Amino acid sequence: MRIYLISFILLSVISKIYCFLDGHPEGRGGQESVQVNDRIYYMGGSRLIRSLKRYNLSDEVFYLDLSSLFNTANPPFTDLTDGKMLYGNEKGIAVLGGSSRSDIYLVGGTQVNLSTINWNVTNQTINWNVTDQFIYIYKTVPNTWTKLQQGVKGTQPSRRRSTSTVIKPNGTIYIFGGRVEQDMGSSTLMLYNDLYEFDTIQLSWKQITASYAPSPRSHSTATLLPNGKIIYIGGVSQDAVGSQTNLIIMTEIQIFDTNSLSWSTRTASSSSLIQPRVGHTAVLTSDNNSIIVMGGTSSYQLSQTTVYPNLMKLDISSEPYQYSELKPSGINPPPPLSYHSANIYSDYMIIAFGNITNDVTDSTETNSKVYLLYVPCLTWESTFNPGRSDCKNNQKPPNPPNLNIIIGCSIAVVVVITGIILCVKFRRNIFECFDSDHGNNGSIDTIDRDLPNEQPT
């Protein structure tokens, strides 16, 4: 009997260590994401606190490692505990810039000092004002946040969030629009239509004044094309300071040409109605021919319900630009999301986090998972295979740590089950198996919890 008891305890300890996938970040929405070589860095976001029915802004920074094969059941996240943000933050935009293209520039967003937050009040005290620091820099080596140094040239824009922001390969950031409201320390809801350049090499601001700028707006996605044009899609606009916002129709495409410094508008065609939205994402496919638009929500300010179509392609290879709905095959589609992250790497669209929306009411769930769309074959997949070049399901065996976990857990489970079966058969009563010479070292509760849940997925 002792042998069963000992192996049971030993194996449940082993399976606790190897089978539980600790360190997986909590679900969240409104986080920022940016690709840095073969990693995607995620930061901030709002996490649901069920007991309070409130959202807690995150100050975390962590990355997803894309250098080797992984399964979405166990995404290789690394938490950068030392690199926590100065504030809890969401709804900013992160881009990679600086002279060595290794510094993350976090542009705008809400911020809350997590050590002074008062959960008893709905409105947090905003301990900064609109003229304060607008860009924070995260050095990926050695994982520290810095503020812009003295000597920055030009005048920075006032603080704002939900801007439409991209960086050109030469290190110049283009920040368009955005908004302030209560959560930004402004008593008035105000959307912007100004456009600023921030040169991350010279550290200089410049406001660009060009004719035909769109109406003030926030939440539009910004996608940079290789020809230097920026494509703005969706979001909301505002007619007058303080007035309510209007959802922008998705077929209205605003374009800013960073070479000629000029604005223009296109009307995209679509065979079906596309619901307008905020909290969506837009990524350029690696053939540079189309933009994949995903998720978001229409019922802004009322509740966060799902938008349709939820996943589409905007073909920009010829004019007029053309929308079409995408219906990928595959067994691992994401739930409908808003305020999620989407990044393209090695032809995979990597979707992470976000509010899970539904057709009826507010989203009450946040997503903690990673989903993969393999763009060339239009399939939802569960294995990230960076070397992949065709549509065959040619997945290599899982990498060694996964294999060890699977083997280790399988053996553990089999041995423990066998042990219990034999023991019960021998003792005729499961309680006696754990109530022998060594006392209550195990319990039914432990068995229930350990056995079914700890199998690897």
Ligand X SMILES: *[C@@H]1O[C@H](CO)[C@@H](O)[C@H](O)[C@H]1NC(C)=O
Which listed residue (6, 78, 100, 119) binds ligand X by CB under 6 A? 119
> Under rule CB under 6 A, which residues in 329-358 are in contact with ligand X?
339, 355
Cβ 270 to ligand X shortest distance, Å: 25
Q: According to the binding rule CB under 6 A, does residue 301 interact with ligand X?
A: no
Cα separation of 386 and 326, whole Å? Answer: 23
Q: According to the binding rule CB under 6 A, does residue 46 interact with ligand X?
A: yes
Q: According to the binding rule CB under 6 A, does residue 363 interact with ligand X?
A: yes
Cα separation of 33 and 64, whole Å? Answer: 10
Contact code string over 47-66 relative to ligand X, x by CB under 6 A? --x-----xx-xx-------
Q: Using the minimum distance from each CB to ligand X, give the nearer residue, 358 or 379.
A: 358
Cβ 6 to ligand X shortest distance, Å: 39
Q: According to the binding rule CB under 6 A, does residue 12 interact with ligand X?
A: no
Q: Which residue is nearest to ligand X (CB)?
A: 30
Which listed residue (67, 81, 100, 129) binds ligand X by CB under 6 A? 129
Q: According to the binding rule CB under 6 A, does residue 258 interact with ligand X?
A: yes
Using CA atoms of 408, 412, 413, 416 in order, give the dihedral in degrees to the nearest 10. Answer: 180
Binding residues for ligand X, rule CB under 6 A, total: 42
Q: Using the minimum distance from each CB to ligand X, give the nearer residue, 287 or 432.
A: 287
> Under rule CB under 6 A, which residues in 189-228 are in contact with ligand X?
199, 201, 226
Q: Which residue has the tokens 């495409």?
A: 253
Q: Using the minimum distance from each CB to ligand X, give the nearer residue, 201 or 430.
A: 201
Q: Using the minimum distance from each CB to ligand X, give the nearer residue, 162 or 254.
A: 162
Q: Using the minimum distance from each CB to ligand X, give the nearer residue, 377 or 415.
A: 377
Q: According to the binding rule CB under 6 A, does residue 362 interact with ligand X?
A: yes
Q: Using the minimum distance from each CB to ligand X, give the nearer residue, 15 or 165.
A: 165
Q: Using the minimum distance from each CB to ligand X, give the nearer residue, 71 or 305.
A: 305
Which listed residue (8, 25, 90, 447) binds ligand X by CB under 6 A? 90
377 φ, ψ (degrees, to nearest 5): -110, -5
Q: According to the binding rule CB under 6 A, does residue 89 interact with ligand X?
A: no
Q: Using the minimum distance from each CB to ligand X, give the nearer residue, 317 or 457.
A: 317
**8 A C-beta contact, residue 235 and residue 219:** yes
**8 A C-beta contact, residue 186 and residue 180:** yes
Q: According to the binding rule CB under 6 A, does residue 30 interact with ligand X?
A: yes
Q: Candidates 65-73, 168-176, 262-270, 317-325 — which segment interacts with ligand X by CB under 6 A?
A: 168-176
Tokens of 353: 């986090």
Which listed residue (33, 72, 172, 305) binds ligand X by CB under 6 A? 172
Q: According to the binding rule CB under 6 A, does residue 81 interact with ligand X?
A: no
Q: According to the binding rule CB under 6 A, does residue 44 interact with ligand X?
A: no
355 has which bridge partners?
338, 366
Cβ 183 to ligand X shortest distance, Å: 8
Q: Using the minimum distance from each CB to ligand X, give the nearer residue, 130 or 406.
A: 130
Q: Using the minimum distance from each CB to ligand X, give the nearer residue, 131 or 149.
A: 131
Cβ 148 to ligand X shortest distance, Å: 13
Q: Using the minimum distance from each CB to ligand X, give the nearer residue, 129 or 272.
A: 129
Cβ 13 to ligand X shortest distance, Å: 29
Cα separation of 457 and 445, whole Å? Answer: 22
Cα separation of 25 and 97, whole Å? Answer: 26
Contact code string over 385-424 relative to ligand X, x by CB under 6 A? ----------------------------------------
**Number of residues in the chain:** 457
The secondary structure of the chain, three-state, reads CHHHHHHHHHHHHHHHHHHCCCCCCCCCECCEEEEECCEEEEECCEEEECCCCEEEEECCEEEEECCCCEECCCCCEEECHHHCCCCEEECCEEEEECCCCCEEEEECCEEECCCCCCCCCCCCCCCCCCCCCCEEEEECCCCEEEECCCCCECCCCCCCECCEEEECCCCEEEEECCEECHHHCCCCCEECCCEEEEECCCCEEEEECCCCCCCCEECCEEEECCCCEEEEECCEEECCCCCCEEECCCCEEEEEECCCCEEEEEECEECCCCCCCECCEEEECCCCCEEEEECCECCCCCCCEECCCCEEEEECCCCCCEEEECCCEECCCCCCEECCEEEEECCEEEEECCEECECCCCCCEECCCEEEEEHHHCEEECEECCCCCCCCCCCCCCCHHHHHHHHHHHHHHHHHHHHHHHHHHHHCCHHHHHCCCCCCCCCHHHHHHHHHHCCCC
Q: Using the minimum distance from each CB to ligand X, give the nearer residue, 228 or 408.
A: 228
Kindly list the residues in this chain that would bind ligand X in the complex (CB under 6 A): 29-30, 46, 49, 55-56, 58-59, 86-87, 90, 113-116, 118-120, 122-123, 129, 131-132, 168, 170-172, 182, 199, 201, 226, 258-259, 279, 287-288, 303-304, 339, 355, 362-363
